[in-house]
């Protein structure tokens, strides 16, 4: 044998004695031992060593047991463990006992513990390949554990687990390996604790050494799902052991002390608490642990709370109080979220801590997030309302206004309080108005308070705040009345009219107080109708308001919008005069505040009619100009665009002739000058209804938009301009450039082709379609008749002269225009010269064929060439060609052959298929050829628009040409091919669906029997291959079963004449199979869609074929019971995980599925209305059907009760299903209810009794 690399040359290796002496030598290195031992086991040495397997095994045991001598590091070479495994496997069955006896000498537990510790502590210098070492030692352990029982102490088990978890955290391993290793580690850990009682000391030790490592690798996604489940189970059986929950709090304290020395620990803590919530039923323990965690991890409290809330258990007030107190330490956003959660759980805490919550907002100052502020404020206010403490709320709120007016007198905050103010009683509101608020609103009170303050030398600030607070409160109350009943509004009228008539020394107050004063008056005026003001002198009130306005003008005081709005409202109520000076002053006010978008929104929304009636055209022009003008401020421009959209989407604006005309005039001017933002202005023009444009404006705008489309190179601008042209041309002018000159259309088409934008091209073609149809509709007019005739003549001449051989890849625009004409010919062909039309059609077809020939001869894989070929093929399919022109059809077939040879384009192929469907004869040979081609093209994964539109349409139109015999033979061939299908099952099912969809064309007595047989055969075939229908290939995504279910729905309605009892039962059987497949595999794609479609099939069966169910009770129960069972949750842990991961795809979480089931229950139990005629007869159809139903409805009800006791059901799902169960109770008699009760166990009878009691209270119809 040749010497090995790195091995010392030893002369006596050729003898057994030399070999054994060298292997036992203390100077041997590990690589020499491995190579010589492998050589011995592989019989590479000439010397004979009879007991070589025993010898090498004893030698390995001895060397591996050395922890301090020369052989200490042998254990860290992965090849030594491969040798160990190889040697172990070489022991024959006769000497296994000898092997086991030697193995007992090996300190295997200590060795594994040592190796894992060394790998975990390795700095990449000592161990060459940690992956191979770890994998080899795990293989060894797994091998040994499968055959022998090991002794592993608890301490060793913890060390092994701890170091393994450290290794996984430090490295990134293949998940497949990790899964195997974790299974082995779990076996060893279980051995260490199998006969040990879980004590507090042990769980504490586990928490300090292993828990963080496990949680860290789980939360960091370092392991696969199998490993995750294993490690979770270790935690659940140790730290969260149900028999030792009392230890958990102590374990958490230990765990928290460990986390204090680590980094990135929040995710681990969250995961532990998530497991605890699922495992522990004692809410008190969870609350105590929550408080412990909250001290160390304040930033994760909201997430922890979401886990706790998932339990749907009541949390103690003390616990929530402790939590909310912690939130007042800082203004962190997480604290706000926690406060929000707590307020939803306990109303009393919202009232109790309202002061502190609002103080927290004030403390936050400018950093406050207003969205959070309004969200939490809304909940606080709601707490007061539901606790009937609104008076206290007003007391707190009004005290906060002086502290931070902008925050607590904000319009949105006022709206929040106003919304809840409706829960006040009438008397409470009246007392609040008369006793607390109204006395502050008088000049006498002003003076009295002023005198008192002068005497006390307090200044006048306090008074102003009090008046301000009262005004805000009054505004809030009045706003609430807009959502109250009329009785309350009338009850409070005297008090509110007193506020309306009140006067204060306005100009001694701040601007915001004056604004609130006029806002209050305006709101009160809007609250009541004309008739309500009979007892008030509106004219006198108007004079006073006018005087106040004049005084503010003369003194140069700041005005606000509400004084104008008050005067405008008074003018609506009475014939008070509105001076031009007032209107000019209002326009000046609007102009000075043009950046106040909210002001513009209110003005242009509320006062449109007023402007139109009382403003001059020049004044309207100024207002519209302010609204439409662009401002070079980004934030204002965004708000401005919102204003534009709101204003132009308000349908009332288009009833105000002067305003809308001014908008049109200014928009035309803006668009002509191409002012920015041009796209936004174009959108506004698009929103204006065509009817608002006079003919002159329409022609002007059409010409401007055409110029814009041809001279601005931006696709967005072009498309928007064209869409407006399309809208305007819904009513023609016949005078605009684009309508009168066909070359304008050609120009636009060329621009669209240059931009390669299909949306633009399609819009242009729609524009021309409109122009063409309008001219046809007005063909009696001489000018229109000439336009049509000239266009047809010019196009015919173009095709006669067009040199096809010089054609470029892109098609001339005349082709597209001609295609539009030929596909939009009225059936009576009125207004068109038939000879001209025939010539144009023939010339177009010939030119199209010649163009295709040219493109084929110069073909290259170019997108433009493929697009042109595709378009020409499709146009030849769409246009109506003279069927007597045999030569043309021959040429078409030739070009189809030539194109098919050169193209690879899926679009070209699909349109080639369309043309073939038009050209091929109605024979069985051609039919089978087309079907094969259909399958091939769909298999090539064409785009969805091609797969489900063109190909289906082509084959469907071809089938309509077939006679009955060819149709049936083709369908039979398709069914016969199902046995050979291995993939793409959905394509064949789709083809079958098209066949069955068109079978109704052959409804006649002489073919009905054959149709019935073939339909039965089709349904039987589908049933036979049901498993393939449910295939879950990524490519198929369960599309086949969805196609089949839609097909069955159609069969039950459209071709019910071809159904027999047997074929009907096949359909019901298919539905049942489908539902059982869903039950067996919850991961089926589109499971909710499959379920809903299944219920729709059953619904159609009940609605159209109820007579077929007579005496077929098993069909009802076998279908409805599995449908019902799908709505139940059968695995508690799965439910928890589903709720945490918000997996909305599951059937048992789908409201749509529950609603669908409830609907078919109703269909089952409530016969159609036409069957309820003659209900006065003793044996009406309705009573007979209900009698037959009673034979199987008890079975459904018994199953429902049993499922409720065995499984869980989502609350929302239960509510939906309960509506269907109510209908069952309507049908059953008392005797049948007794039978059902007797069939149930004790728990079932209890639930059934409660269910029936609920039905009698809430579900049963009562005449009262």
pLDDT in tens, 288-298: 888 888 888 88
Are 611 and 569 in contact by the 8 Å Cβ rule? The answer is no
Contact 1175, 1184 (CB under 8 A): no
- C-alpha dihedral, 1064 to 1066 to 1068 to 1069, nearest 10°: 160
Q: Is the pLDDT of residue 934 over 80?
A: yes
* Residues 999, 1055: Cα–Cα separation, whole Å: 8
The DSSP code for 459 is -
In the DSSP assignment, the letter for residue 1208 is B
Q: What is the mean pLDDT of the chain?
A: 83
How far does Cα 1233 stand from its chain's mean position? 43
Q: Which three-class secondary structure string do you get for 900-962?
A: HHHCCCHHHHHHHHHHHHHHCCCCHHHHHHHHHHHHHHHHCCCCHHHHHHHHHHHHHHHHHHC
Rounded to the nearest angstrom, the gap between the alpha carbon of residue 1258 and the centroid of all alpha carbons in its chain is 34
Nearest to 1038 by CA among 1091, 976, 1102, 1114: 1091
CB atoms within 10 A of CB 740: 13
Please state, as a whole number, how many other Cβ atoms lie within 10 Å of the Cβ of residue 1062.
11
Reference 1127, options 1104, 1156, 1106; nearest CA is 1156
Residue 787 has pLDDT above 90, yes or no: yes
Query: Residue 1012 — very low, low, confident or very high, per pLDDT cuts 50/70/90?
Result: confident
Lowest-confidence segment of 385-389, 428-432, 558-562, 1027-1031 by average pLDDT: 1027-1031
Query: What would the mean pLDDT of 1246-1254 be, rounded to a whole number?
Result: 87
Q: Please answer whether residues 745 and 752 qualify as being in contact, where contact means their C-beta atoms are separated by less than 8 angstroms.
A: no
Contact 931, 969 (CB under 8 A): no
Report the alpha-carbon distance of residue 732 to residue 693 in Å, rounded: 12
Cis peptide before 1170 (omega within 30 of 0): no
Higher pLDDT, 1068 or 556: 1068
Residue 1208 β-bridge partners: 1129
Which phi and psi (to 5°) does residue 879 adopt?
Answer: -75, 155
Question: Is 104 exposed, middle or buried (CB count within 10 Å of its CB: 0-12, 13-18, 19+)?
Answer: exposed
pLDDT of residue 203 exceeding 60, the answer is: yes
pLDDT of 191 above 60: yes
Q: How many CB atoms lie within 10 A of CB 939?
A: 11
In the three-class reduction of DSSP (H, G, I as helix; E, B as strand; rest coil), residue 92 is classed as: coil
pTM: 0.69
Q: What is the distance, to the nearest Å, from the Cα of residue 522 to the centroid of all Cα atoms in its chain?
A: 44
For residues 488-499, average pLDDT: 90
Residues 851 and 803: their CA atoms lie apart, in Å, by 9
| Contact predicate 245/277, CB 8 Å | no
Lowest mean pLDDT among 6-15, 127-136, 147-156, 538-547: 6-15
Q: How confident is the model at residue 480 (pLDDT cuts 50, 70, 90)?
A: very high
Gap between the Cα atoms of 86 and 63, Å rounded:
17
Q: List Cβ neighbours of 866 (8 Å cut-off, separation of 6 or more).
A: 903, 905, 907, 908
Are the beta carbons of 1210 and 1153 closer than 8 angstroms? no
Assess whether pLDDT exceeds 80 at residue 318.
yes
- Please write the tens of the pLDDT for every residue from 1136-1193: 444 344 444 578 888 999 999 999 988 888 754 444 444 444 455 556 665 665 677 8
Q: Which sign does the torsion angle of CA 257, 262, 265, 271 carry?
A: negative
- The answer on pLDDT for 665 being more than 90 is yes
Nearest by Cα to 255 from 273, 232, 237, 277: 273
For residues 15, 18, 20, 21, the Cα torsion angle rounded to the nearest 10 degrees is 170
As given in the structure block, the two tokens for residue 755 are 């931009």
By the 8 A CB rule, do 83 and 38 touch?
yes
Output the six-digit token pair for 1256: 């009698």
pLDDT at 906 (0 to 100): 78
Please, how many CA atoms are within 13 Å of residue 1215, restricted to the half-sphere of its CB? 6
Q: Residue 717 contacts by C-beta under 8 Å, 6 or more apart in sequence?
A: 678, 679, 682, 708, 709
Residue 1117: partners with Cβ closer than 8 Å, 6 or more residues away: 1192, 1195, 1196
DSSP 181: H
pLDDT at residue 447 greater than cutoff 60: no
């Amino acid at each position: 044998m040749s010497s090995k690399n790195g091995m010392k040359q030893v002369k006596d290796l050729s003898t057994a004695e030399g070999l054994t002496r060298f292997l036992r030598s203390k100077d041997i290195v590990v690589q020499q031992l491995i190579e010589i031992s492998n050589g011995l086991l592989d019989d590479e040495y000439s010397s004979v060593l009879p007991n070589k397997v025993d010898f090498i095994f004893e030698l390995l045991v001895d060397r591996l047991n050395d922890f301090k001598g020369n052989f200490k590091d042998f254990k860290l070479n992965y090849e030594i463990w491969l040798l160990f495994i190889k040697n172990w496997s070489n022991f024959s069955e006769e000497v296994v006992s000898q092997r086991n006896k030697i193995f007992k000498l090996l300190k295997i537990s200590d060795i594994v513990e040592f190796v894992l510790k060394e790998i975990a502590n390795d700095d990449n210098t000592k161990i060459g390949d940690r992956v191979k070492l770890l994998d080899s030692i795990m293989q060894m352990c797994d091998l040994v554990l499968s055959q022998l029982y090991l002794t592993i102490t608890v301490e060793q088990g913890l060390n092994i687990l701890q170091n393994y978890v450290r290794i996984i955290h430090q490295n990134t391993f293949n998940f497949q390996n990790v899964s195997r290793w974790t299974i082995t580690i779990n076996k060893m850990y279980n051995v260490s604790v199998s006969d040990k009682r879980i004590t507090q000391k042990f769980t504490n030790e586990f928490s300090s050494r292993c828990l963080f490592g496990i949680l860290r690798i789980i939360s960091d996604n370092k392991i696969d799902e199998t490993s995750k489940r294993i490690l979770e189970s270790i935690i659940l059986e140790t730290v969260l052991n149900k028999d030792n929950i009392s230890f958990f709090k102590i374990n958490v304290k230990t765990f928290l002390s460990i986390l204090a020395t680590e980094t990135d620990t929040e995710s681990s803590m969250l995961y532990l608490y998530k497991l605890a919530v699922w495992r522990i039923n004692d809410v008190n323990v969870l609350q105590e642990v929550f408080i412990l965690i909250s001290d160390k991890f304040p930033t994760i409290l909201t997430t922890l709370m979401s886990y706790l809330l998932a339990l749907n258990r009541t949390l103690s007030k003390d616990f929530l109080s402790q939590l909310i107190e912690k939130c007042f330490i800082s203004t962190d956003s997480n604290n706000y979220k926690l406060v929000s959660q707590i307020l939803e759980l306990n109303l009393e805490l919202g009232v109790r801590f309202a002061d502190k919550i609002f103080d927290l907002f004030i403390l936050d100052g400018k950093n406050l997030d207003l969205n959070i502020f309004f969200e939490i404020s809304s909940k606080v206010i709601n707490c007061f309302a539901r606790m009937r403490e609104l008076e206290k709320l007003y007391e707190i709120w009004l005290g906060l206004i002086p502290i931070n007016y902008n925050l607590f007198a904000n319009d949105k905050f006022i709206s929040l309080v106003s919304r809840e103010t409706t829960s006040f009683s009438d008397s409470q509101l009246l007392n609040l108005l008369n006793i607390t608020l109204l006395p502050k609103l008088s000049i006498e009170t002003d003076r009295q308070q002023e005198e008192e303050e002068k005497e006390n030398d307090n200044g006048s600030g306090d008074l102003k705040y009090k008046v301000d607070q009262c005004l805000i409160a009054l505004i809030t109350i009045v706003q609430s009345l807009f959502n109250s009943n009329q009785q309350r509004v009338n009850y409070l009228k005297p008090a509110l009219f007193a506020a309306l008539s009140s006067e204060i020394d306005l100009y001694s107050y701040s601007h915001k107080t004056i604004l609130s004063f006029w806002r209050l008056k305006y709101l009160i005026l809007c609250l009541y109708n004309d008739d309500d003001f009979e007892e008030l002198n509106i004219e006198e009130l108007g004079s006073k308001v006018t005087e106040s306005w004049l005084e503010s003008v003369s003194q140069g005081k700041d005005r606000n919008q509400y004084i104008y709005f008050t005067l405008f409202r008074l003018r609506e109520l009475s014939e008070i005069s509105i001076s031009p000076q007032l209107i000019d002053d209002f326009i000046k006010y609007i102009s000075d505040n043009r950046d106040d978008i909210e002001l513009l929104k209110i003005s242009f929304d509320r006062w449109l009619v007023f402007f139109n009636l009382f403003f001059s055209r020049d004044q309207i022009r100024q207002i519209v100009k302010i609204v439409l003008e662009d401002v070079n401020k980004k934030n204002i421009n965004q708000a401005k665009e919102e204003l534009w959209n709101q204003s132009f989407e308000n349908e009332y604006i288009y009833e105000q002739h002067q305003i809308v005309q001014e908008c049109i005039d200014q928009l035309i001017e803006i668009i002509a000058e191409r002012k920015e933002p041009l796209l936004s202005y174009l959108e506004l023009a698009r929103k204006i209804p065509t009817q608002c444009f006079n003919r002159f404006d329409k022609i002007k705008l059409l010409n401007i938009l055409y110029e814009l489309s041809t001279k601005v190179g931006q696709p967005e601008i072009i498309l928007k301009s064209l869409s407006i042209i399309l809208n305007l041309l819904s009513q023609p002018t016949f005078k605009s450039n684009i309508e009168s000159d066909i070359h304008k259309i050609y120009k636009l088409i060329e621009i669209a082709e240059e931009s390669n934008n299909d949306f633009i091209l399609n819009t242009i073609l729609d524009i021309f379609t409109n122009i063409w149809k309008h001219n046809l509709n007005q063909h009696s007019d001489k000018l229109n008749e000439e336009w049509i005739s000239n266009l047809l003549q010019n196009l015919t001449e173009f095709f006669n002269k067009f040199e096809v051989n010089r054609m470029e890849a892109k098609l001339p625009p005349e082709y597209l225009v001609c295609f539009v004409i030929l596909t939009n010919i009225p059936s009576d062909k009125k207004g068109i010269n038939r000879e001209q039309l025939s010539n144009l059609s023939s010339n177009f077809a010939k030119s199209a064929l010649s163009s295709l020939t040219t493109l084929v001869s110069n073909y290259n894989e170019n997108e433009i060439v493929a697009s042109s070929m595709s378009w020409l093929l499709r146009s030849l399919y769409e246009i109506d060609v003279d069927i007597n022109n045999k030569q043309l059809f021959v040429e078409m077939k030739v070009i189809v052959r030539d194109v098919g040879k050169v193209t690879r384009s899926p679009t070209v192929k699909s349109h080639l298929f369309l043309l073939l469907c038009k050209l091929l004869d109605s024979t069985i040979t051609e039919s089978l050829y087309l079907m094969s081609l259909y399958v091939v093209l769909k298999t090539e994964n064409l785009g969805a628009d091609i797969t489900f539109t063109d190909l289906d349409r082509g084959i469907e139109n071809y089938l309509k040409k077939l006679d009955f015999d060819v149709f049936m033979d083709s369908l039979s061939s398709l069914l016969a091919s199902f046995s050979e299908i291995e993939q793409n099952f959905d394509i064949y099912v789709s083809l079958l669906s098209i066949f069955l969809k068109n079978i109704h064309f052959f409804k006649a007595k002489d073919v009905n029997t054959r149709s019935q047989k073939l339909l039965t055969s089709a349904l039987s075939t589908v049933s036979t291959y049901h498993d393939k229908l449910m295939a879950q290939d990524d490519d198929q995504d369960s599309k086949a079963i969805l196609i089949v279910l839609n097909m069955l729905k159609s069969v039950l309605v459209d071709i019910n004449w071809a159904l027999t009892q047997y074929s009907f039962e096949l359909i019901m059987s298919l539905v049942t199979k489908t539902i059982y497949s869903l039950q067996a595999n919850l991961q089926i794609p589109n499971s909710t869609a499959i379920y809903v479609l299944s219920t729709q099939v059953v619904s159609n069966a009940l609605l159209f074929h109820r007579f077929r169910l007579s005496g077929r009770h098993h069909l009802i129960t076998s279908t409805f019971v599995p449908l019902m069972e799908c709505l139940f949750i059968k695995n508690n842990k799965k439910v928890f995980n589903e709720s945490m991961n918000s997996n909305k795809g599951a059937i048992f979480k789908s409201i749509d599925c529950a609603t669908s089931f409830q609907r078919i229950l109703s269909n089952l139990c409530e016969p159609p209305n036409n069957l309820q005629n003659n209900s006065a007869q003793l044996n009406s159809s309705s009573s007979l059907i209900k009698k037959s139903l009673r034979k199987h409805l008890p079975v459904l009800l018994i199953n429902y009760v049993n499922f409720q006791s065995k499984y869980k059901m989502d609350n929302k799902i239960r509510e939906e299903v309960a509506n269907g169960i109510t209908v069952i109770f309507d049908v059953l008699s008392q005797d049948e209810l007794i039978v059902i009760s007797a069939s149930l166990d004790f728990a079932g009878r209890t639930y059934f009794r409660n269910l029936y009691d609920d039905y009698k209270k809430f579900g049963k119809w009562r005449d009262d």
